[in-house]
Amino acid sequence: MVEECRVKVKFTGVLISFAGSESLDVNIKCGSTLRELLRQLANANPRLRRRLVEDDGLWPGVYVAINDTDIRLLNGLDTRLSNGDVILFLSYIHGG
């Protein structure tokens, strides 16, 4: 049996309108990567996909932190997620 974990995904700025909420509780397979979570979010919400995903990576202009740590200091999109993690998506480039 695959163990499930729950993570909290938070959005700021313009991403709130695309996500439809400031935060979501998401069930994932324990040990999933941030890339897998991103894919799950994108598949569930095409509007959000357009602002988060480019090719198989992160859209330029989106900052991501896991438990207040920049993912660039971790393993980027290959960072493994654990139960209770808080993932922040922040878009710092806005349309005019």
Residue 47 lies in a domain: yes
Residue 96 lies in a domain: no
In the predicted model, is pLDDT for residue 83 greater than 90?
A: yes
Query: Which residues are CB-neighbours of 90 under 8 A, at least 6 positions away?
Result: 11, 12, 13, 15, 62, 63, 64, 65
Mean pLDDT, residues 69-76: 96
Residue 80 lies in a domain: yes
Question: What is 12-26 written as a DSSP string?
Answer: -THHHHHHTSSEEEE
Count of domains for the chain:
1
SS3 category, 71? helix
What is the value of pTM for the model shown? 0.90
Which residues constitute the domain of residue 40? 4-91
**Spatial distance between the Cα atoms of 80 and 5, rounded to a whole number of angstroms:** 12
Q: What percent of the chain has pLDDT over 90?
A: 71
Residue 17 lies in a domain: yes
pLDDT in tens, 45-70: 988 888 888 887 888 889 999 999 99
